[in-house]
Amino acid sequence: WIGKYLTDKTRSGLVHFMFTRGLLREKLQLVSEKALASGALLSLKSEECFMKEGNIYVQLRKLEKLEEKMKATRKQGEEKRNPFLPPEEDLFVCEMTPSHVVVLNKFAVLNEHGLIITREFVEQTRPLLREDFYAIHLTLQEANNFVFFNSGKIAGASQAHKHIQFLPLPLSFDTQSQKEPLDTPISPLFDEEIDYSHFGAPFGTLRFFDFAHVVRTYAEYDIDLESDNTVKEYADRDYETYCTMLEKLGQLLPPQWKGEESCGPYNFLMTRKWMMIVPRSEEFFRGISVNSIGFAGGILVKNQEQLQMVQDYGFVPLLKELTYPLT
């Protein structure tokens, strides 16, 4: 799976390029251009503004036109098919691993929004596996990406088929100078002292987020596009870290979060520098659906009324309505 371009026939009989180290972003850009031209990729225009809260600038995006997305969503609903099995041909980026492929997010608010999907159907509510983290680190080796996973509908997942999402960083800019890029709007929170009192180092919480969550930070990230060993080592490390974080959250939260499952709905966020998991109690805040990007400091609204509501209510108070108390 690493090295030369290979080809593989899909169930539809079409030929795809397999994953080649160092070329993922180039492939994403190429497929995006073609998919936009064909109409398969719907670029959703939005108006951006910022809201200062504490030491961060929350990124608010108001969608300009929803007609195309609503029409396409209705069509998918009428067809009652899994859009990932098989994936739409014009959105297909590349074969990745024996268990995963990469496609474009059909409804793109931000550019180069990729999805790592399982070849076979796996429920979105199932935990991430070691092979999922292997695929995640293939993308992180390629570029400084923001990776996230919405575990179930309450966490903001729009599809039941297991998919992990990634976006190129930075997601935000310093609104005072507009010159210095920030990886994410919440990046300044990681520059502050992490609170290890709830879980014990190296597992902590961000002091600004007074709701149940857990973070793990990393000092460095090595890039090695020649060898598979680095990817495997990071995948093993972070799979074990992820399992430990879920276990610690399970001990903290009330029984209703888990129900009869191994864990309840949560948002998983990751960069080369940190990992965060946020258990979810609700999907919506007064009609606004919030997924993992929301906990990175990005809120998407449909109209001016919702935008004003977020500004009036506040970023952290909004997130507290969707999560559990930090006890």
pLDDT score for 256:
82
Residue 144 lies in a domain: yes
Q: How far apart are CA 68 and CA 64, in angstroms?
A: 11
**CA end-to-end span of the chain:** 45
Task: Select from 113, 122, 115, 89 the least CA-distant residue to 101.
Answer: 115
- 264: Cα within 13 Å, side-chain hemisphere: 20
pLDDT score for 12:
39
Q: Mean pLDDT, 10 residues at a time, over the chain (327 residues)?
A: 37 55 92 96 93 95 74 56 93 95 96 97 96 97 97 96 97 65 92 95 97 96 91 97 96 83 90 98 97 97 96 98 95
CATH label of the domain that carries residue 73: 3.30.428.70
**Would you say 275 and 216 are in contact if contact means Cβ atoms under 8 Å apart?**
yes
pLDDT score for 173:
66
* Residue 290 in tokens: 């919030």
Q: How far apart are CA 184 and CA 296, in angstroms?
A: 6
Domain ranges, residue 78? 7-320
pLDDT score for 190:
95
3-state SS class at 190: helix
Q: How far apart are CA 165 and CA 188, in angstroms?
A: 23
Total domains in the fold of the chain: 1
Residue 305 lies in a domain: yes
Mapping DSSP onto H, E and C, the string for 83-120 reads: CECCECHHHEEEECCCCEEEEECCEECCCCCEEEEECC
Catalytic residues: 163
Residue 291 lies in a domain: yes
pLDDT score for 28:
95
Residue 1 lies in a domain: no
Residue 325 lies in a domain: no
Burial class (CB in 10 A: 0-12, 13-18, 19+), 73: middle
Residue 244 lies in a domain: yes
3-state SS class at 57: strand
pLDDT score for 237:
97
Residue 131 lies in a domain: yes
- Please give the single-letter amino acid code of residue 176: Q
Sign of CA dihedral 131, 132, 137, 143: positive
pLDDT score for 254:
87
Residue 326 lies in a domain: no
Q: How far apart are CA 119 and CA 232, in angstroms?
A: 20
Q: How far apart are CA 74 and CA 61, in angstroms?
A: 23
pLDDT score for 67:
59
Which CA distances in Å does 70 have to 74, 144, 302? 6, 32, 12
